[in-house]
């Protein structure tokens, strides 16, 4: 126990986590100031389970009905006939080459064409239906709408919304209000739920980029909570939830074959994305944390980690902005947004041509297929 205690003391060293001459005892909640407590960071874990259960109920009993009423069919692909040898080959290998197909055809005493047909059917079995993707998108759209609305409600009269320097006045001796406390807890719970559900949802080409995004978001919120930087944290949350609403709404419209609505929502999403992720986020928030904050706060090691995580998010934003603009350019050349805005599965990516574009600007992805058919969800 003495060794564990020594390690914990080293980890929670106030010289690392707090400004100079500030100790953990100084940040104990009292009658005057309600400090953020690091122990509360475990609360989002059971809340994440609640969100996953709520999501399951809504997808099954509400979103699916809405999708069906919009004409989205829950079509199930034809199943491949049972074949243990081909099944093992399918599960154990990535993209099966022609030479391997020839060998499999000899083993199972089928023609090469029949083996290719079986593999095609087997891949189709793993592809989610349009209705499944619609339900996933509905959940994210509902969450981002509620989260952004609640964030506006929480911060509307907070002084740091209009003057970001209020994030530093009197730091670290700043109280956290109950509405901001819930804003943090629910947001953390959502990102924890995404981190778990990502392994069961539609598999995307950018799986690991999104995984890094979720972990970076959780670490960023955790750091800001422990260091009592919740004022900046709430501004980051509000900035990031705004454009995501229109991304998910555009995907919903696409699945329902409302092409013009999809195009309009995508334009709004692109404009908001550039304004918030490449404008407000770096030029207002990161500028304040990197340039203005040292005028009010003595720097400390954990603060540099916090800033590094903000910069990591900015790098991800720059990457996704490139792909968004690439999609927008192809759409303008084609005269409309053709094809499919959707969460692409890994199987779809491996089986499709190289002219596909895939982006994931938040815990989601937007896939545009450039082909001659409009509104078809293949």
Share above pLDDT 70 across residues of the chain, in percent, rounded to a whole number: 85
pLDDT tens digit sequence for 173-198: 999 999 999 999 999 999 999 988 88
pLDDT tier at 355 (50, 70, 90 boundaries)?
Answer: very low
Q: Mean pLDDT across the chain, nearest whole number?
A: 82
Tokens, residue 100: 């391997």
pLDDT tier at 28 (50, 70, 90 boundaries)?
Answer: confident
What's the confidence (pLDDT) of residue 94?
63
pLDDT tens digit sequence for 48-89: 999 999 999 999 999 999 999 999 887 766 777 787 777 777
pLDDT tier at 367 (50, 70, 90 boundaries)?
Answer: very low
Mean pLDDT of all residues in 149-154 = 96
For residue 374, the cross-strand partners are: 339
Mean pLDDT of all residues in 280-309 = 93
Q: Nearest-CA neighbor of 143 among 61, 59, 201, 222? A: 59
Crossing angle for the helix pair 301-334 and 259-275, nearest 10 degrees? 140
Entry pTM: 0.79
**CB-neighbour burial class of residue 16 (10 A; exposed 0-12, middle 13-18, buried 19+):** middle
| CA–CA gap between residue 347 and residue 205 (Å, rounded) | 9
| CA–CA gap between residue 204 and residue 120 (Å, rounded) | 19
The count of C-alpha atoms lying within 13 angstroms of the C-alpha of 211, restricted to the half-sphere facing its C-beta, is 12
For residue 334, the cross-strand partners are: none
Evaluate whether 110 touches 357 at the Cβ level (below 8 Å): no
| CA–CA gap between residue 339 and residue 344 (Å, rounded) | 13
Determine the longest span between alpha carbons in the chain, in angstroms.
80
DSSP single-letter state for residue 375: S
Tokens, residue 205: 């080409």
Is 71 or 4 the better-scoring residue by pLDDT? 71
**Domain segments of the chain as ranges:** 38-71+128-357, 84-126
What's the confidence (pLDDT) of residue 126?
66
pLDDT tier at 109 (50, 70, 90 boundaries)?
Answer: confident
Q: Which of 137-141, 159-163, 321-325, 350-354 has the lowest mean pLDDT?
A: 350-354
What's the confidence (pLDDT) of residue 348?
36
Is 364 or 32 the better-scoring residue by pLDDT? 32
| CA–CA gap between residue 323 and residue 245 (Å, rounded) | 18
* C-beta contacts of 84-87 below 8 A and 24+ residues apart: 86/115, 86/118, 86/119, 86/122, 87/122
Q: Ranked by mean pLDDT, which of 8-22, 145-159, 356-370 comes out on top?
A: 145-159
Mean pLDDT of all residues in 331-349 = 49
Share above pLDDT 90 across residues of the chain, in percent, rounded to a whole number: 47
For residue 362, the cross-strand partners are: 364
| CA–CA gap between residue 275 and residue 320 (Å, rounded) | 14
Q: Which CATH class is domain 84-126?
A: mainly alpha
Tokens, residue 178: 């109950």
Q: Which residues of 214-242 are buried (b: 16+ CB within 10 A; e: fewer)?
A: bebbbbbbbbbbbbbbbbbbbbbbbbbbb
Is 359 or 31 the better-scoring residue by pLDDT? 31
Q: Nearest-CA neighbor of 222 among 187, 271, 260? A: 187
């Amino acid at each position: 126990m003495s060794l564990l205690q020594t390690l914990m003391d080293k980890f929670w060293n106030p010289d690392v986590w707090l400004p100079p001459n500030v100790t953990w005892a100084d940040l104990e909640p009292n009658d005057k100031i309600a400090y953020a407590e690091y122990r509360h960071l475990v609360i989002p874990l059971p809340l994440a389970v609640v969100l996953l259960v709520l999501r399951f109920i809504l997808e099954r009993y509400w979103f699916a009905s809405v999708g069906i009423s919009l004409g989205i069919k829950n079509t199930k692909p034809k199943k491949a006939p049972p074949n243990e040898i081909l099944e093992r080959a399918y599960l154990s290998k990535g993209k099966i080459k022609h030479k391997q197909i020839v060998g499999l055809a000899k083993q199972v005493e089928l023609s090469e064409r029949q083996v290719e047909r079986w593999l095609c059917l087997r891949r189709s079995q793993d592809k989610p239906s349009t209705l499944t993707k619609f339900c996933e998108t509905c959940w994210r759209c509902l969450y981002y709408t509620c989260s952004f609305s609640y964030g506006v409600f929480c911060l509307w009269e907070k002084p740091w919304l209009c003057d970001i320097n209020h994030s530093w006045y009197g730091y670290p001796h700043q109280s956290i209000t109950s509405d901001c406390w819930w804003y943090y807890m629910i947001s953390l719970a959502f990102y924890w739920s995404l981190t778990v559900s990502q392994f069961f949802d539609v598999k995307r080409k950018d799986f690991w980029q999104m995984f890094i995004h979720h972990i970076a978001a959780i670490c960023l919120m955790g750091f800001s909570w422990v260091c009592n930087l919740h004022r900046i944290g709430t501004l980051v949350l509000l900035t990031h939830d705004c454009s995501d609403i229109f991304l998910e709404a555009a995907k919903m419209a696409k699945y329902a074959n409302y092409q013009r609505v999809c195009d309009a929502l995508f334009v709004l999403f692109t404009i908001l994305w550039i304004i918030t992720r490449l404008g407000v986020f770096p030029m207002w928030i990161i500028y304040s944390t990197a340039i203005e904050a040292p005028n009010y706060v003595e720097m400390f090691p954990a603060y540099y980690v916090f800033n590094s995580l903000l910069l990591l998010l900015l790098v991800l934003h720059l990457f996704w902005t490139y792909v968004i603009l690439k999609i927008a350019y192809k759409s303008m050349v084609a005269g409309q947004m053709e094809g499919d805005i959707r969460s692409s599965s890994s199987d779809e990516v491996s089986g499709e041509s190289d002219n596909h574009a895939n982006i994931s600007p938040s815990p989601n992805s937007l896939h545009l297929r450039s082909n001659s058919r409009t509104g078809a969800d293949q």
